[in-house]
Amino acid sequence: MKKKETISWSHYQTAIFDFIQNGQGNAVIEACAGSGKTSTLVKGLSFIDEDKKILLTAFNRDIVKVLTKKTKDFKNTNVTTLHGLGLQMLRYNFTNESLNLDEFKYRTFVSTNLKSLTSIDISQFSKSDYFHYIDNICKYIDFGRYYLAQTIEDLNHVEDRYEIDTIADEKSIAIQSMEWGKRNLDTIDYTDMVWLPNATMCNPHGLRYDWVFCDECQDLNKAQRELMLKCRKINTRMMMFGDAQQCLYSFAGSDPDSFNALKSLPNTISLPLSISYRCADNIVAYAKELVPTIEQNNDGRKGVVEEVSEIEEVKDGDMVLCRNNAPLMKIYNAFIKEGKKCFVMGKDIGNNLKRIVKNTKKEALGKDLKTDGVFVRLYNNLFETRDKIMLHSNIDIDTAMQSSIVSNKIDTIKALEVLSEGLKTSKELIDRISDIFSDRKKNGIALSTIHKAKGLEADRVFIACKSLMPSKSAKKDWEIRQEHNLMYVAYTRAKNLLGFLNEEDFSDFKENSSAEKKRLQSIELQVNKTLGKKTKYLSADTSYSSEIIKNAKKIVIPKSNTRTLNNNVKKIQIKPTLGGLFGTRISKKMI
């Protein structure tokens, strides 16, 4: 016997159900934090006839597992990630290809074939410039695929958005590598799964649906969005759930305009889902300062917002969030010393930290910076990156230090410094990182960056280093929007208590403070002494301006367009597009 439904649905939810039953076309559901989005989505499926095929896409495999369990009674529903959907499509279209997973497919290709791909003499590169060059190429390949780039001009947009410090012809090599990737399908990486179905114009055999439901649609990149749209038939209807105010992954390739792009599809309306059932009234009121459309549920819970909470208040079952990693590592060490059980969310963050340590190729940590080791190399890379940004963007040292690239490197180094307490070797540090970071649910206090906490909740949530938001390194409009989204997501993880840990406990993590500037100046002097290097810049003084003037070149404005290429100038053969234009030869001067 079927259980009687006891849920009292809101007028927003019943409007969505009515649209599914009686409406026409598509809808974008603007679901605020804690609005019962998943329950609404699953209930919506029950209004669709059993003979209709339904596609339900989810952001990651963990959410797929949750939704698969909740939709087990709907036999007509295929629950998958968009990567899984793309892989299905590739297997249907390329039955004779192996399609084996190789996450280093493109890096290996570039490293192995660089001499035949490049138009410059790479033997002149320093070791650091060589690896920087390779990393740039791989960034262009990844972001180029996310944005379905086909030309160097398309990659100019990527260069500007993600502030890639291009050395030479990285964009040309990326375009060539993407063309190679289309033809070589023995191996694929994860991005290929969503890019190749678009780039090779796959036919969605057996993957066209009567209904398409999409969860977390605000975080789609262009390749994912176009892949999903491939699965439509003539009369397919789409229900796309998301929240533009919770878009957090633009830095990783998601399209910040994805939500609006879906809303602009023909015959598409927007429906609100504005009541937060997760957060108590006072917490909703606090979040309302950022997002005025979020509404209280009036279930009798008032909730508490503590502007100053002490770290001693945090107990088992609580969640501590921070924008950056380094403060979380400090909290972790403090809790371990006090005998409190805790863990850090984000296995992928841990893997990245381990990779950074391994890439220094140093056994000793050398925390005092007096001998060459992991931290000398990390700080040296930081200062070299800052110098390149200064010269590339024609800015002073203080401005360069505020860039998001430099800020992220500083946060990473500080996190590793805290984690390395009491250790001497890189192996010990890597082992400790493996022990700390996890994506499995454990008992104790959960520590997490705000990005990793998306979709999670706790009865009591504490925010560390509130002053880090919005970040001073956010300069572009989309970066500033992301910072406010981070604040909103952080506040709305709390059910009944939202507390802000005392800032005095984290004074050493303040951005661009005078004490921090002096600390980094002292470190730079010591690092250069250890490596036998001359220090170029320590402040926004005349030394930088002098170098800019010294290296400046006179600009000659031509009177008209003429063929003025010197016969002795080396010509570069650029393969500019993915669309079969590789026979075209373009010449330009070497600079």
pLDDT at residue number 174:
97
* Domains of the chain, residue spans: 11-93+203-273, 100-184, 300-529
Residue 94 and residue 88 in contact, taking contact as beta carbons nearer than 8 Å: no
Structure tokens at 388: 């390149």
Instruction: Select from 492, 465, 459 the least CA-distant residue to 319.
Output: 459
Instruction: Select from 335, 322, 318 the least CA-distant residue to 443.
Output: 318
DSSP state of 250: G
Pairing of strands 342-345, 437-438: parallel
Cβ count within 10 A of residue 266? 6
DSSP state of 2: P
Please report where in the chains the tokens 């800052």 appear, as a residue: 386
The helix/strand/coil state of 320 is strand
Instruction: Characterize 297-307 residue by residue with b for buried, 16 or more Cβ atoms within 10 angstroms of its Cβ, and e for exposed.
Output: beeeeebebee
pLDDT at residue number 404:
81
pLDDT at residue number 5:
62
* Residue 356 vs residues 22, 423, 485: alpha-carbon distances, Å: 54, 17, 28
User: How many whole angstroms separate alpha carbon 193 and alpha carbon 84?
Assistant: 7
User: How many whole angstroms separate alpha carbon 413 and alpha carbon 376?
Assistant: 10
User: How many whole angstroms separate alpha carbon 22 and alpha carbon 38?
Assistant: 21
The helix/strand/coil state of 221 is coil
DSSP state of 577: B
- The pLDDT tens digits of the residues spanning 225-236 come to 999 999 999 999
Residue 418 and residue 334 in contact, taking contact as beta carbons nearer than 8 Å: no
pLDDT at residue number 561:
39
Full DSSP string of 388-450: HHHHHHT--HHHHHTSHHHHHHHHHHHHHHHHTTT--BHHHHHHHHHHHEESS--SSEEEEEH
User: How many whole angstroms separate alpha carbon 278 and alpha carbon 292?
Assistant: 17
User: How many whole angstroms separate alpha carbon 459 and alpha carbon 202?
Assistant: 46
* Residue 197 preceded by cis peptide, ω within 30: no
What is the residue-averaged pLDDT of the chain?
A: 87
Residues of the chain with pLDDT under 70: 1-5, 251-252, 439-441, 511-512, 537-591
pLDDT at residue number 62:
83
Residue 309 parent element (H or E): strand 304-309
pLDDT at residue number 508:
72
Q: In angstroms, how far is CA 552 from the centroid of its own chain?
A: 36
- The pLDDT tens digits of the residues spanning 509-558 come to 776 678 888 889 999 999 999 999 888 765 544 444 455 445 544 444 44
Residue 382 and residue 406 in contact, taking contact as beta carbons nearer than 8 Å: yes
Cβ count within 10 A of residue 334? 16
Tell me which amino acid residue 324 is: N
Residue 347 parent element (H or E): helix 347-359
Tell me which amino acid residue 5 is: E
Please report where in the chains the tokens 């770290």 appear, as a residue: 311
Class for the domain spanning 11-93+203-273 = alpha beta
The helix/strand/coil state of 491 is helix
